[in-house]
Amino acid sequence: MPLPSPLDEVHIRLATEADLPAIDEIYALYVERSTCTFATTVPTPAERRAWLLAHGPAHPVTVAVERDGTVVGWGSLSTWNPREAYARSVEDSVYVREGHHRRGLGRRLLADLVSRAIVLGHRTIVAQIAGDQAPSLALHRALGFEDAGRLRDVGYKFDRWLDVVLMQRALPHPA
Ligand SMILES: CC(C)(COP(=O)(O)OP(=O)(O)OC[C@H]1O[C@@H](n2cnc3c(N)ncnc32)[C@H](O)[C@@H]1OP(=O)(O)O)[C@@H](O)C(=O)NCCC(=O)NCCS
């Protein structure tokens, strides 16, 4: 495996359809081995394409890309609840490629999503995090998310019940 680029040479940009195989390559491992996603199957290419198209300008999907073009992480702001009055509340996702953890990529991806959410005029970002996912809980706390509650035993994966911790980051109103 080539050496990772220094972090300042990793850039974050909006994802395109060409990034979808890399997005799912990163995601598949977590689907199969981790409680960080409650999905138990990887989306088909058609489902993933529909997911990207459904995101649209108010709900960006981003990728972190190394100098050589390798996608080493991705993030998204998604609709948190489809009812109209929730339109300015979004939910974040951040996934870093196996082997690239603890380099600051998750922090960069989430900070970038927060900045985009502010510019887009969103009011709050909600995170729904499996109760056993210490890295994700710590990442969100580091980025200013506050605990907003705990839903007990709402997920079932790998033969056990899982809590979901709700976290929330309020965003400043745009000037
Ligand atoms: C959570 C995740 C995105 C963190 O990405 P990362 O690039 O490894 O994290 P960073 O190097 O940017 O770390 C940023 C902060 O997050 C926290 N953190 C990250 N990994 C951690 C770990 N294993 N244990 C404790 N804290 C951790 C720390 O506060 C860290 O700050 P520090 O380095 O100053 O201590 C990554 O572990 C991942 O992809 N996990 C699987 C997917 C997931 O859980 N996504 C979030 C839910 S949508």
HEC sequence for 26-67: HHHHHHHHCCCCCCCCCCCHHHHHHHHHHHCCCCCEEEEECC
Contact between 139 and 106 (Cβ < 8 Å): yes
For the chain, which domains are there?
7-170 (3.40.630.30)
Q: Whose CA is nearest to atom 1 of ligand 1?
A: 136
The pLDDT, as a whole number, for residue 1 is: 59
| 144 alpha carbon – ligand 1 mean position (Å) | 14
Indicate the pairing of strand 89-96 with strand 124-130: parallel
The pLDDT, as a whole number, for residue 7 is: 82
The pLDDT, as a whole number, for residue 156 is: 98
Give CA–CA dist 154/14, Å, rounded: 32
Take residue 33 and report the two structure tokens written for it: 């081995």
Cβ(50) to ligand 1 under 6 A? no
Take residue 134 and report the two structure tokens written for it: 């210490």
- pLDDT tens digits, one per residue of 106-129: 999 999 999 999 999 999 999 999
Please classify residue 127 by burial: count the beta carbons closer than 10 Å to its beta carbon, then call 0-12 exposed, 13-18 middle and 19+ buried.
buried
Q: What predicted TM-score, i.e. pTM, was given to this entire model?
A: 0.96
| 85 alpha carbon – ligand 1 mean position (Å) | 31
The pLDDT, as a whole number, for residue 2 is: 62
Cβ(136) to ligand 1 under 6 A? yes
| 137 alpha carbon – ligand 1 mean position (Å) | 8
| 84 alpha carbon – ligand 1 mean position (Å) | 32
Give the residue ranges of the chain where pLDDT is below 50: none
Mutation choice for ligand 1 from 34, 101, 139, CB with most ligand atoms inside 8 A: 139
Q: Whose CA is nearest to atom 26 of ligand 1?
A: 135
